[in-house]
Amino acid sequence: MSVAIVDETSAGTGIARPSDDILIDIYRKVALIRLNDDRSVAVLKSGRLSMPYYSPRGQEVIPSAVSAALREDDYICTIYRGIHDMLAKGMPLRDLWAEIAGRITGICKGKGGPMHLTYPDKGIMVTTGIVGSSMPIANGLAWASQMDGNDKVTVAYFGDGASNIGAFHEAMNLAGLWKLPVVFVCQNNQFSEHTTYAKSTAAERIADRAAGYNMPGERVDGNSPIEMYDAASRAVERARSGQGPTLIEAMTFRFSGHVYGDDDAYMDPAVKAEAVAADPVPRFRSWLLSEGIATETELAAIEEAIKVDLDEAVRFAETSAFPEIEELQRDVFADEDVK
């Protein structure tokens, strides 16, 4: 499988270009994810922070475009490699950083950590460390919306490797059968830990599996903001209007090893180099400039503001207290006295 090529102009695809506002909104999210990743790696390298970190580098565009198609009250369920999905959906940096630093001021009081970040205020309902498990739960959120008769949509994020586990199948079938308002977004970064797509997945395209669940399935260039936004908007609209779920296979590439510290020796250097050369972040940025959608000053201001927020978030995290030992047995049940 070759690396997805970003063509933000989507020339010849007949895809309508979203408004400039939307494009800039997407870029703001992309930049946030990109800069947060930089900062995370820097802080990890400094040794001031220690956590399992699954970098989303290379996959920034997917959730940014998806979230631009979502409402604030829509839900997402995501995975260990999900900080990009959450930032795009509105997770505040302070809450995030304090959590990954294990502080009591963290959004999960330091108990969840990076793999279990949760922020219901912005619809970030579940983050799971178990491959495949975001999907069955996403169905439940969508089922609730269906029963409530509201028009909220739920997005389930997962990886290419996750499309081979049982939970994927059960969830897809139920969603197709019950016509649930879910969008299944598979971020196909072509690796499951150390194993390539070709050694994991019998299907030529994961999107092909949708047919077996009576739902549309589409492979798109996840690194193209325009293609990704287009596919997401149609899927979200379909879900919102009661027509049921969609499977989107968003092609992308994982720029780092699986987890921070993993040397990625198993990745073909040529393939990786090609992907990195097509880095969607600078390409999107230059395209915005070349199309006159934003000026250098505007983009620099966006980035600067993010950096300021990051400084503040890291400072907040590092100066916050760790939880007291009493917290260890709190939040097991609603009733604290039950042990």
Partner 1 sequence: MSGENVVNILQSVNQALADAMADDAKVVVLGEDVGDPEGGGVVGATQGLSTRFGETRCRSTPIAEQAIVGAAIGASLVGYRPVAEIMLMNFTAVAMDMMVNHAAKLRYMSGGQTSVPIVIRTMTGAGFSNGGQHSDYVEGWFAHTAGIKVVAPSTAADAYGLMRSCIDDPDPCLFIENIPTYWLPDTAAVPGSRVPLGQAKVTREGTDLTIIAYSRVAREALAAADELAKAGISAEVVDLRTISPWDKKTVLASVSKTGRAIVAHEALRHFGPGGEIASTISEELFSKLKAPVTRLGAPTAPVPFSKPLEEAFMVGSKDIVPAAKVLAAYK
Ligand X SMILES: Cc1ncc(C[n+]2csc(CCOP(=O)(O)OP(=O)(O)O)c2C)c(N)n1
Q: How far is the CB of 189 from Mg ion (least distance, A)?
A: 4
* CA angle at 333 for the pair 330 and 338, rounded to the nearest 5°: 85
Nearer to partner 1 (CB atom), residue 4 or residue 135: 135
Residue of minimal CB distance from Mg ion? 159
Partner from its own copies, ligand X, Mg ion, none binding residue 129, C-beta < 5-8 Å depending on class: ligand X
Which pair of structure tokens corresponds to residue 319?
A: 């100066």
Partner from partner 1, ligand X, its own copies, none binding residue 204, C-beta < 5-8 Å depending on class: its own copies
SS3 for the chain, per residue? CCCCCCCCCCCCCCCCCCCHHHHHHHHHHHHHHHHHHHHHHHHHHHCCCCCCCCCCCCCCHHHHHHHHCCCCCCEEEEECCCHHHHHHHCCCHHHHHHHHCCCCCCCCCCCCCHHHCCEHHHCEEEEECCCCCHHHHHHHHHHHHHHHCCCCCEEEEEECHHHHCHHHHHHHHHHHHHCCCEEEEEEECCEECCEEHHHCCCCCCHHHHHHHHCCCEEEEECCCHHHHHHHHHHHHHHHHCCCCCEEEEEECCCCCCCCCCCCCCCCCHHHHHHHHHCCHHHHHHHHHHHCCCCCHHHHHHHHHHHHHHHHHHHHHHHHCCCCCHHHHHCCCCCCCCCC
Query: Per CB under 8 A, which region of 8-16, 34-42, 214-222, 256-264 contacts partner 1?
Result: 256-264
Binding of its own copies by 177 (CB under 8 A): yes
Binding of ligand X by 4 (CB under 6 A): no
Query: Per CB under 5 A, which region of 90-98, 188-196, 229-237, 257-265 contacts Mg ion?
Result: 188-196
Binding of Mg ion by 189 (CB under 5 A): yes
Nearer to its own copies (CB atom), residue 89 or residue 209: 209
Partner from ligand X, its own copies, Mg ion, none binding residue 193, C-beta < 5-8 Å depending on class: ligand X
Residue from 56, 63, 159, 225 binding Mg ion (CB under 5 A):
159
Residue from 56, 58, 63, 113 binding partner 1 (CB under 8 A):
113
Subset of residues 120 to 159 that bind ligand X, contact rule: CB under 6 A: 129-131, 158-159
Q: How far is the CB of 291 from Mg ion (least distance, A)?
A: 31
Which pair of structure tokens corresponds to residue 263?
A: 């040397």
Binding of ligand X by 222 (CB under 6 A): no
Binding of partner 1 by 129 (CB under 8 A): yes
Label residue 52 left, alpha or beta by phi (over 0 means left) and psi (-120 to 50 means alpha): beta
Nearer to ligand X (CB atom), residue 131 or residue 314: 131
Binding of its own copies by 41 (CB under 8 A): no
Q: How far is the CB of 129 from ligand X (least distance, A)?
A: 5
**One character per residue 138-167, x = contact with partner 1 (rule: CB under 8 A):** xxxxxxxx-x------x------xx-xxxx
Binding of Mg ion by 160 (CB under 5 A): yes
Q: Which residues bind its own copies (CB under 8 A)?
A: 164-170, 172-177, 199-204, 208-209, 211-215
